[in-house]
Amino acid sequence: MKNQTAFNPSKSWELQKIIKVASDLNLTGSTAASTGERIAAAFVLNRMEYLPDTYSDVVEAWDRLDHHWKACVRVIKRNGMHYIKGH
């Protein structure tokens, strides 16, 4: 069994940002976040209606994220959904 550490978003500004953007989208339906941040948050929330208008294709939106941001989405989905307000 692997030694697993507790999920701690404070160790990564990217995790903090995605959680904040996802919370904003959940609470208000809008955000002033960047395109990549908004795409990541939409995937975390599994709410494709939150993708920017220029990314109506889900695969194209996913491909817009680099490998690190994709990993952040996966980490939040697995261990950090409780940090998202309104979820």
pTM of the model: 0.89
pLDDT of residue 11: 83
Residue 80 is inside which H or E element, if any? Answer: none
Q: Is the pLDDT assigned to residue 5 strictly greater than 60?
A: no
Mean pLDDT value across residues 49-64? 95
pLDDT mean across residues, the chain: 92
Alpha-helix runs per DSSP H in the chain: 13-28, 35-45, 58-64, 67-79
